[in-house]
């Protein structure tokens, strides 16, 4: 799919796997359509083989590679492949494939916390859907727009967009479920009086047969409720359970988000040494994902903790690395430069 406190991360609102891959399974809609046409031509011509155009082969390959990178939480590589696919579709004015690629690019950008880029992709997609004929994709686009609002810290606007999705009877079930997760999160972020009610709605919606990652996400929301009620021991237990689930699935966005949320609680408790450890571990994960935006947030918090601990040299290094990333620096070379003594 990551979160906040002082950190509003993407994984908290990630699209379910079935939604992210719906209608594609690694292939573009246009490629499938062309494949069907070619199959019909092959049938009509007996057993004589029909060679696919190179553009179809390239688009199918790049879409599949992009989806594979996305599933591996490698959003930089995913965006590279989806950008190639976008160029291929644009070269033949294939509007459906172009739209599909733009939505995947927005989704991947959100995986890196780059909400401004996601908004640009969605704006381009909106210019295509404005001409009609793509109503089936509009709920997903609307959901991604609310995710961008949440990452930008505009939770009231996000809540309004999510309410619109939840109140629309035509919203698909998978979109509705993702929107309910996000709406519950915004309720906690806004410190709304009805946050516990949203959590109850989400729990009732999930039932007892939810998948492991959704259950872990729900536990993190339960941890927020426990923290709001002053029960930090219960919150820590919920975070530990969610973290174990994410580790077992090797799901890096969830691992980083849980460590970040947990560290926020530790900072509030003034458990500075533990908070620094949790933040460093979260930073290691973020940098491995080439995630500049969330790495900056972790570094800013690390600088704050280091100052409290009197480690001025470490605080200065964290500040310098954060500035480097804010100015467009590559996260990759920084992976092993920040170490907690």
Ordered per-residue pLDDT tens for the chain, 341 residues: 333 222 223 344 444 443 444 333 333 444 444 443 444 444 445 555 667 788 888 888 999 999 999 999 999 999 999 999 999 999 999 999 999 999 999 999 999 889 999 999 999 999 999 988 899 999 999 999 999 999 999 999 999 999 999 999 999 999 999 999 999 999 999 999 999 999 999 999 998 778 999 999 999 999 999 999 999 999 999 999 999 999 999 999 999 999 999 999 999 999 999 999 999 999 999 998 888 888 999 999 999 999 999 999 999 999 999 999 888 887 766 654 554 33
Say what the pLDDT of residue 33 is. Answer: 41
Q: What angle, 0 to 180 degrees and rounded to 10, lies between the N-to-C axes of helices 252-268 and 272-288? A: 160
Structure tokens at 96: 């459906």
Element counts in the chain: helices (H) and strands (E): 16, 0
Contacts of residues 54-60 at CB distance under 8 Å and 24 or more positions apart, as own/partner, are 55/88, 55/91, 55/92, 56/30, 56/31, 58/84, 58/88, 59/28, 59/30, 59/31, 59/85, 59/88, 59/89, 59/97, 60/27, 60/28, 60/31
- Rounded to 10 deg, the angle between the 95-111 and 29-44 helix axes is 140
Q: Compute the radius of gyration of the chain from its Cα atoms.
A: 22
Residue-wise DSSP of 280-318: HHHHHHHHHTT-HHHHHHHHHHHHHHHHHHT-HHHHHHH
**pLDDT (0 to 100) of residue 297:** 93
* Share of the chain residues as helix, strand and coil, in percent rounded to the nearest 5: 75, 0, 25
Residue in the structure block whose two tokens are 């990333």:
325
Instruction: Determine the Cα–Cα distance for residues 51 and 49; give it in Å rounded to an integer.
Output: 6
Give the rounded distance of the alpha carbon of 289 from its chain centre.
Answer: 12
Q: What is the pLDDT of residue 56?
A: 81
pLDDT for the residue numbered 207: 86
- CATH 3.30.43.10 is right for the domain spanning 10-269: no
The whole-number pLDDT of residue 52 equals: 73
Distance CA 95, CA 92 (A): 9
What sign has the CA pseudo-torsion 100, 106, 107, 112? positive
Give the span between the Cα atoms of 252 and 86, in whole angstroms: 27
Going by C-alpha positions, the residue among 77, 74, 73, 90 that lies closest to residue 28 is 90
Contact 183, 166 (CB under 8 A): yes
In the chain, domain spans: 10-269
């Amino acid at each position: 799919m990551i979160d906040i406190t002082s950190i509003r991360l993407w994984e908290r609102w990630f699209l379910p796997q079935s939604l992210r891959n719906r209608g594609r399974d690694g292939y573009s809609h246009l490629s499938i359509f062309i494949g069907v046409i070619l199959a019909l031509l092959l049938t009509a011509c007996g057993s004589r083989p029909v060679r696919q155009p190179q553009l179809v082969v390239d688009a199918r390959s790049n879409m599949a590679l992009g989806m594979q990178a996305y599933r591996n939480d490698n959003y930089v590589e995913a965006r590279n492949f989806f950008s190639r696919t976008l160029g291929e579709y644009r070269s033949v004015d294939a509007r459906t494939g172009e739209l599909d690629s733009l939505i995947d690019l927005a989704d991947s950008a959100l995986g890196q916390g780059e909400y401004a880029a996601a908004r640009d992709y969605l704006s381009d997609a909106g210019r295509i859907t404005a001409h009609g004929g793509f109503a089936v994709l509009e709920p997903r686009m609307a959901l991604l727009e609310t995710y961008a609002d949440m990452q930008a810290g505009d939770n009231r606007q996000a809540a309004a967009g999510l309410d619109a999705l939840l109140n629309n009877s035509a919203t698909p079930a998978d979109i509705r479920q993702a929107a309910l997760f996000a709406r519950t999160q915004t309720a906690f972020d806004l410190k709304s009086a009805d946050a516990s009610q949203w959590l109850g709605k989400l729990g009732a919606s999930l039932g007892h047969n939810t998948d492991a990652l959704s259950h872990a996400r729900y536990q993190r929301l339960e941890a927020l409720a426990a923290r709001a009620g002053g029960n930090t021991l219960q919150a820590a237990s919920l975070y530990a359970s969610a973290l174990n689930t994410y580790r077992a699935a090797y799901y890096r966005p969830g691992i980083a988000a849980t460590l970040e949320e947990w560290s926020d609680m530790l900072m509030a408790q003034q458990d500075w040494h533990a908070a620094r450890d949790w933040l460093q571990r979260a930073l290691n994960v973020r940098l491995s994902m080439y995630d500049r935006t969330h790495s900056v947030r972790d570094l800013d918090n690390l600088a704050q903790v280091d100052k409290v601990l009197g480690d001025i040299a470490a605080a200065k290094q964290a500040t310098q690395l954060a500035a480097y990333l804010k100015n467009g620096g590559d996260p990759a070379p920084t992976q092993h430069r920040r170490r907690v003594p």
